[in-house]
Amino acid sequence: MAGVLTSPVVWAFLPITVTWVCFAISVGDPARFIDYDWLWLLFRHMSPYFWAAFGVALSVGMSILGAAWGIFITGSSLVGAAIRTPRITSKNLISIIFCEATAIYGVIVAIILQTKISQVEPINGVYSSYAMYSGYSIFGSGVTCGFANLVCGMCVGIVGSSCALSDAQNSALFVKILVVEIFGSALGLFGVIIGIIMSGGVKWEA
């Protein structure tokens, strides 16, 4: 089951298939299963605070998911290998710290984004372009940071697992694989930097 979930076929072709089926259903029938006009109307009238809150939630939620996933992968390998080679336990805990750092990245960005949310009142039931832009910016920033840290946590977890198993066989390999793990952990910082830049122009009212 784990091999199926990590297969590139599942992650690449399944979303494409689902998208194609939905498109065929919505366009192929004259009655149209999906009313795009109504969806566009709904999209235009959605509160920017929904997008802002959604972005904050994705930033912290996806980052924590990536950290938990990485700790699960690294921790299981570390505990299993430590049964035969107890000496690897202490120094390989740094892999757990790297995984936890991805969650901290998401929390930091979520706090920054939350402080950028201001209260504005709609005019005749419609929010200004400034408010809509701010909501979309915070949403995009949260998505960028969240998904960057999700894959970063998975990357660090897999490399950390390999580091623990390699160290159990040959202690000389620890430092060499640790360098790879450090570069993998730095990937999450790219999402944090871009997320902060994207939210830099937030301005809820003129």
pTM: 0.75
Q: What pLDDT does 130 receive?
A: 82
**Are the beta carbons of 187 and 155 closer than 8 angstroms?**
yes
pLDDT value, residue 122 = 76
DSSP 87-130: THHHHTHHHHHHHHHHHHHHHHHHHHHHHT------BTTB--HH
Q: Residue 91: which residues within 8 A CB-CB, separation 6 or more?
A: 167, 174
Return the closest-CA partner of residue 33 out of 19, 20, 22. 22
pLDDT of residue 24: 64
Closest alpha carbon to 195 in 154, 149, 151: 149
pLDDT score recorded for residue 1: 47
CA angle 142, 148, 154 (to 5 degrees): 135
Burial 84-108 (b: 16+ CB within 10 A, else e): eeeebeeebebbbebbbbbbbbbeb
How far apart are the C-alpha atoms of 83 and 134, rounded to whole Å? Answer: 52
Give pLDDT < 70 ranges for the chain. 1-12, 22-36, 206
CB 160 within 8 A of CB 70: yes
Quick: pLDDT tens for 80-117. Answer: 877 787 777 777 788 888 888 888 988 998 898 888 88
